[in-house]
Chain A
Amino acid sequence: MFTYILKRILYVIPIGLAVSLVCFSLVFLAPGDPLSAILPPDATTELIERLKADYGFDKPLPVQFGKWVLRAAQGDLGTSIATGRPVNSEIAKAISNTFMLAMFACGIGFSFGLVFGFVAGYVRNTWLDKVVTGIAVTGVSLPHYWLGMVMVIIFAVLLDWLPAMGAGAGGSDAWAWDWEHVRFLVLPAVTLSFIPMGIVTRTTRAVVAEILNQEFVQALRAKGMDSLGVFKHVVKNAAPTLLAVMGIQLGYLLGGSILVETVFSWPGTGFLLNTAIFQRDLPLLQGTILFLAMFFVVLNVLVDILQSIFDPRIRR
């Protein structure tokens, strides 16, 4: 068990290196020069050379990559070209906003998904199962930016219950845990929760139905276990698969949804990435992608470890 966990954690190093290489080189595959965006059109050659030297763009790519990784490993992701501020502080704010949004969306999506999925799995092929499955399919199929706009129209414009955009009154970005701020979370979080809800429902239903068909469930009934006793077995058997699915969904949401964050003007990573791309802000782009990718990797390791706690067969 312990060696398994240690192994999983050590795997992060090569994966992390590979991920950072991809992040780094992806940006150079795209056309355009980051400096041309901030330089005046009539800039002298010396000025261009000086700026290139300042940002390290004059070195060969492998050297740039090496330096970048070394600094990133120490927690320094460089300086944003557009704002001149450290990438770290730019990302930190956006990440915490997206994180909050993702956690809320997952909280809503996973709870409904799990309840729906278990119910449907237990009563499969009944009308209730069909209703629940219908909701799940709808949740997965709705384009969420469209859903976001519909929500805004209904709850912000027509009913005027909730704010339509931003993360605080008057566009302020100071966050506090009170209703004045949390109400800004509701619409984007609910909008984002539909896809994880649908996916978790469908997965749970399939997994639960499959488990209930297994012989050991009949054996459990044969030894006199009550419904709750059988349910515990179903949960523990379903847990590894469900954790994997939920981990991936949480990862996706943490990446920030560019579309939904744009619809709601939510100052998160999706918003940030969008801006970085348009401004050709290479360090910011690389840093954000790297951070998100590493988060995904770490999340997967966590899921792996959790899975192994539930299912002993995974440890080998």
Chain B
Amino acid sequence: MSSTATTPLVEVTNLSVHFRNADATVHAVNGVDFTLNAGEVLGILGESGSGKSVTLKTLMRLLPEKKTTIGGGMRVAGHDVLSLDRAGLIAFRGRVASMIFQEPMLAFDPVFTIGQQIAETVIQHEGVSREVAMARALEMLERVQIPSAKRRLEAYPHEMSGGMRQRAMIALALACKPQLLLADEPTTALDATVQIQILLLLRQLQKEMGMAVIFVTHDVGAAVEVSDRIAVMYAGRFVETGDVRTVIRKPGHPYTQGLLAANVLPGTGIHAGKRGDRIEAIPGAPPNMVTLAPGCAFEPRCKWAEERCGTKVPEPLPSADGGAAHLVRCVRAVA
């Protein structure tokens, strides 16, 4: 249980996740390494199918065990996540690490009130009475700035707006003061004005409670808004890792460059180009995750692809101009 100042809160080493079904094995995550310190926010940026949500769910061991092969190691706050037994997992989830979801309407049980759903979590983890748990639920709803929180305790999920539901989801996730919050595209299903409010709220709560956050998104703007560090994920690998500034200003990997060119201007939520400008899209389609290419997975779509790109997967190495903390998996970025 000891997590001293020197050891990071989260240590993921060479994580791989494969899904087996009758006729194929899907290589969802293929060797992910990262560490995260207490109080730090890591944004994982990637398109659909890049393995970012799978990485999060693996951290909570939420994937169906029978169909999933997990390799590598994960330590969170001193827990070896992969070797936790059933009781250990129950104590871990929601208490050490907690999760918020893309669509809060689906993540809440429709037939229990918001208050009941927050309270049961507190009861499960802290064994307190219903009254104490409800008081905590109220406190959390106030903390996430839900107006007339007391009345909202009695509300069912369908009686709230999307933004309110996501606030309630955050309240639920934070009810037992976890050290790590996993956010799986928490703003994707919300409209733009609400997105910003939720991002600001998350950032504020993260600072107040001093927890670490892993924030998964495909929205560059959202990632920049909340993250200290950014990891860009492609075909189940982190192709580029670094602090926000470096990754956005000096993207080292061609995929990151393409993402930035195709996405909104960081921090403004507005596209960088003017109306009528052509948006620069990345050509081609994401790779097939059943049969992995021997070399760089981005090679088929990369405009700078060379012969050596297709032979072996590039190691994450410090980029030429980004410093030692800026790791890029591209042969061109290092040389």
Binding site for B on A (CB under 8 A): 214-216, 218-226, 229, 233, 236-237, 310-313
The interface residues of chain A lying within 8 Å CB-to-CB of B112 are 233, 236
Against A, the Cβ 8 Å flags (1 = close, 0 = not) of B87-118 are 00111111100110101001111111000000
Residue of A whose beta carbon sits closest to that of B175: A223
Interface of A is mostly: helix
Contact B94 A223 (CB under 8 A): yes
The interface residues of chain B lying within 8 Å CB-to-CB of A214 are 106
Residue of B whose beta carbon sits closest to that of A211: B109
Contact A215 B158 (CB under 8 A): no
- A225-B110 contact, Cβ under 8 Å, with A215-B103, A219-B101, A313-B156: no
The interface residues of chain A lying within 8 Å CB-to-CB of B158 are 312-313
Known: A214-B106, A223-B99, A233-B112. 7 other contacts (CB 8 A): A215-B103, A216-B109, A222-B99, A223-B124, A224-B95, A225-B121, A236-B109
Within 8 A of A (CB), among B158-212: 158, 172-173, 176
A-B contact pairs, 22 of them (CB 8 A): A214-B106, A215-B103, A216-B109, A218-B62, A219-B108, A222-B93, A222-B94, A223-B93, A223-B94, A223-B99, A224-B90, A224-B92, A224-B95, A225-B94, A225-B120, A225-B121, A226-B90, A237-B110, A237-B111, A310-B111, A311-B110, A313-B111
Contact B93 A313 (CB under 8 A): no
3 closest pairs, A vs B, by CB? A224-B94, A223-B94, A224-B93
Contact B94 A236 (CB under 8 A): no
Number of residues on chain B facing chain A (CB within 8 A): 29
The interface residues of chain A lying within 8 Å CB-to-CB of B79 are none
A221 is contacted by which of B93, B125, B172 (Cβ under 8 Å)? B93
A313 is contacted by which of B60, B103, B107, B110 (Cβ under 8 Å)? B110
The interface residues of chain A lying within 8 Å CB-to-CB of B172 are 223
Contact A215 B107 (CB under 8 A): yes
The interface residues of chain B lying within 8 Å CB-to-CB of A225 are 90, 94, 120-121, 124
Query: How far is it, in angstroms, between the C-alpha of A310 and the C-alpha of B110 when the chains are bound?
Result: 10
Query: How far is it, in angstroms, between the C-alpha of A225 and the C-alpha of B107 when the chains are bound?
Result: 14
A216 is contacted by which of B62, B95, B107, B125 (Cβ under 8 Å)? B107
The interface residues of chain B lying within 8 Å CB-to-CB of A229 are 120, 124
Residue of B whose beta carbon sits closest to that of A219: B107
The interface residues of chain A lying within 8 Å CB-to-CB of B90 are 224-226
Query: How far is it, in angstroms, between the C-alpha of A70 and the C-alpha of B294 when the chains are bound?
Result: 86
Query: How far is it, in angstroms, between the C-alpha of A236 and the C-alpha of B98 when the chains are bound?
Result: 24
Most chain-A Cβ atoms within 10 A of its Cβ — which of B101, B111, B124?
Answer: B111
Residue of B whose beta carbon sits closest to that of A217: B109
The interface residues of chain B lying within 8 Å CB-to-CB of A221 are 62, 93
- A215-B106 contact, Cβ under 8 Å, with A223-B93, A223-B173, A224-B90: yes
The interface residues of chain A lying within 8 Å CB-to-CB of B173 are 223
- A236-B101 contact, Cβ under 8 Å, with A224-B92, A226-B124: no
Query: How far is it, in angstroms, between the C-alpha of A219 and the C-alpha of B90 when the chains are bound?
Result: 13
